[in-house]
Structure 1
Amino acid sequence: MATEYDADIVMYVAMMGLCPTIALFGIVSNIINIIIFIKTGFSESITVSLLGLAISDLLALVFVVPFIAFSNPIMLHSDDHPFNSIDVIFLAITFPYSAFTRITCLITAFVTIERCLCFVLPLRVKTLLTPRRSAIVICAIFAITLCTLIPPHLAAKLDWRHDTRRNKTIYGLVFKRKDSAQLMEIRTIMTLSIQLFSFFALVVSNIALAITVKRQAKWRASSGAAGIQQNGQLQQNSVENAADSTMSRNRRLARMIQLLSFIQFVTFLPSTLFYLVALGLPEFSMYGKYRNEYKSCWPSATVLQCLNSSLNIIFYYRMNTRFRNRMAKMFKKGATRIFPANANTMDNTVETISQRPRPR
């Protein structure tokens, strides 16, 4: 069994060593994502969905900041503060953070289903998934998942109470009802159900997406070969070129979504297992018999979830040309405002180099 010292070491390494850097990068990167998606416009439903994903990631990482602040040794072990840090973390921080991370899971599952429909029903997807309908789905995901905050806040609150160890009145967790334990268990079941549903949707939609992409690639290859045999050469008109371009773009988007889904599955698997353990073993909690094991496991899961919320910008930049161009344009405009003389000089240099005659 883990000791309190072991649990504190894990918490310090995770929350004071790893999370600050990851959370800072994630907050900045998701703000950039939001700006770029807004500037791109909402003519496509995928942009609306990715904007919702960036907002949920940003809100989750914002709650990591007070999590880090209340997890430092001074806050945890000092008796001078008029509050209990663990109680504040438990009720005011971990529950909202968990809700926003589950929103991320559901939106990722929705985006995967959306990309799958682009291949399964290419002629109807534009009418089935309009930007307006995607926005309604994203708002519904936020509303439904935030309902998981109701049971714990019905069960407990932060209020002044007497601390027997300190022998003074402090601001901490107070259970309001006799059925508080049952309400906490209901919240665990709700959160676990959302997590398992998103995992199921991710797995099924990714399998369907992979099969459909492979079938369409074979069909394009066979139709191209048939065209060559029939006409002696491949006749490509503007319509075919446009179709090929759209298909290529959809394949790139599909690969990006599959990669995001895989990373989410890996990073959220530990927390899902911890919820299953908590459901079968109620003492595995912040205030139960296995509280040291609980405090040792969850910081590690938090680090993985922070990674999932922070890395999206890297995949968008590497796998989406439109996002890359928007990002380069945005930073170029910012550099022009900060360093106007240097930016003009750089633009003139680039223009001069581009006008030089190329060797034949």
Structure 2
Amino acid sequence: MAHSGASNTSTTIRFALPFKQESQLLNSVLLPTWPAIILFGHLANVVNIAIFLKSGIKDSVTTLLCSLAVSDLSFLVLIIPFVTSYITLHFAPNWVWPINRNIMFLAFQWPAFTFYDFSCYISVATGVTRCACVAMPLRFKSVFTKSRTVKLVIALFMVAVLLRMPVLTIYNIVLRQNPSTYSTDPNLVHSYKEILVKVNDILNRQSMPYINFIIMIACVIILTTKLHEATRVRRSHAAHSHTTRSTRHISDLKQPDAQRMSAKDIKVVQSVVLVCSIFVISQLPFSVFSTARLIEPEFDDKGYYHYLFAVCTVFSYTCYFLNASVNIFVYYRYNSKYRDALLSVFKRKAAFDQPSNIK
């Protein structure tokens, strides 16, 4: 009897999981924002794709940015079933599902995050190529051509699919007879193999995120340093405007190529730095709680720190959705061709909507 009482007490303590209230509060605050963020992300990425195509994809940076918009849009489209089921489960747990809930909750989750991984790799490639062109322009500007960039994008997509293959193959949708309704309904079945999930965790939750994170931080540091040098040199030249033209020309020739960036190059570097910085900030929560998950096994969706894990998960998802949606502001601020093309669309629409003056 004494042993039974101790066991019950242990069970009570075990399931008195911490951070439950914090998890419920965060869900109540953040989950309602998900549909708005995703809807805006759809519109923003459609606009990005349309503007890039209209302006012409003529260089490696535009090719990468257009590919990034396509990948972000694909992620946001495929994640809708998961988000719908997640929000419904939180706010209406007793709602009767017309189809098997797991189909919406799980079937599209891994394909969606395959495209998110693809976006991450494109962002890293953008940072690395721009970093190489700025740091060593004479050697690398002729290397990153449009055709080679297209091949790079295709290779990155294949890498993203290959790395996610362990979990992309464990779910299947099959038709099964419902004994209560005598109807045939679709059901989600999985050939759950622990080794496949473990491989996915090692590749996509531990190895690749850290590699991407470190590379992007290095790119941001290098690009920011070069940008600071170029800005300092340009200000120094402006301050010494009384110097003769020939003297300025000789001075320019003595400056390293990275310090003689044009105003257009500086804008490009600024936009790439911001895109890379957004990526780093959005990946930071995931990197932190992935590290905590390695250190503390109970920090998991079925462990003692279940609710704290849920808090981190919801916050990370919010960062994912924002990361796939806000690049339009960067392009509008730092890409003059993008801004002019976007404004011209609105001007034409405004002119078309104006009533005719013909009587």
TM-score w.r.t. length of structure 1 = 0.77
For the pair 1:201 / 2:223, whether they are aligned, the reply is no
The structural deviation recorded for 1:146 is 2.1
Q: 2:196 aligns with which of 162, 180, 183?
A: 183
Give the AA of the match of 2:349.
G
Q: 1:149 aligns with which of 156, 161, 164?
A: 164
The residue that corresponds to 2:227 in the other structure is 213
CA change 1:11–1:99 in 2 (3 A) is farther
- The number of residues matched between the two structures is 329
Give the AA of the match of 1:188.
D
- Matched residues in 2 for 1:275 and 1:84: separation? 30
- Matched residues in 2 for 1:89 and 1:280: separation? 32
Give the share of equivalent positions with the same residue, in percent. 26
TM-score w.r.t. length of structure 2 = 0.77
Aligned partners of 1:34 and 1:51 also within 8 Å: yes
- Matched residues in 2 for 1:197 and 1:270: separation? 15
- Matched residues in 1 for 2:292 and 2:100: separation? 26
CA RMSD of aligned residues (A): 3.7
1:205-253: CA deviation from partner (whole Å, max 9, x where unpaired): 22222233344455567788999656687579xx9xxx99961111111
The structural deviation recorded for 1:288 is 5.5
- Matched residues in 1 for 2:86 and 2:137: separation? 49
1:148-181: CA deviation from partner (whole Å, max 9, x where unpaired): 3321244444557999xxxxx996654425xx12
CA change 1:68–1:219 in 2 (3 A) is closer
For the pair 1:55 / 2:70, whether they are aligned, the reply is yes
Q: 1:80 aligns with which of 75, 90, 96?
A: 96
The structural deviation recorded for 1:103 is 2.0
SS state of the match for residue 272, structure 1?
helix
- Matched residues in 2 for 1:173 and 1:340: separation? 53
Aligned partners of 1:56 and 1:104 also within 8 Å: yes
Aligned partners of 1:12 and 1:71 also within 8 Å: no
- Matched residues in 2 for 1:291 and 1:93: separation? 23
Q: Structure 1 unaligned runs (5+)? A: 164-168, 346-360
Give the AA of the match of 1:204.
A
- Matched residues in 2 for 1:284 and 1:173: separation? 27
The structural deviation recorded for 1:3 is 7.2
CA change 1:130–1:283 in 2 (3 A) is same
Aligned partners of 1:161 and 1:170 also within 8 Å: yes
Aligned partners of 1:260 and 1:312 also within 8 Å: yes
SS state of the match for residue 72, structure 1?
helix
1:83-232 equivalent positions in 2, closer than 5 A: 85=101, 87-88=102-103, 90-158=105-173, 174-177=189-192, 180-192=193-205, 193-217=207-231
Q: 1:28 aligns with which of 43, 49, 69?
A: 43
Aligned partners of 1:12 and 1:72 also within 8 Å: no
The structural deviation recorded for 1:269 is 0.9
Q: 2:279 aligns with which of 250, 257, 264?
A: 264
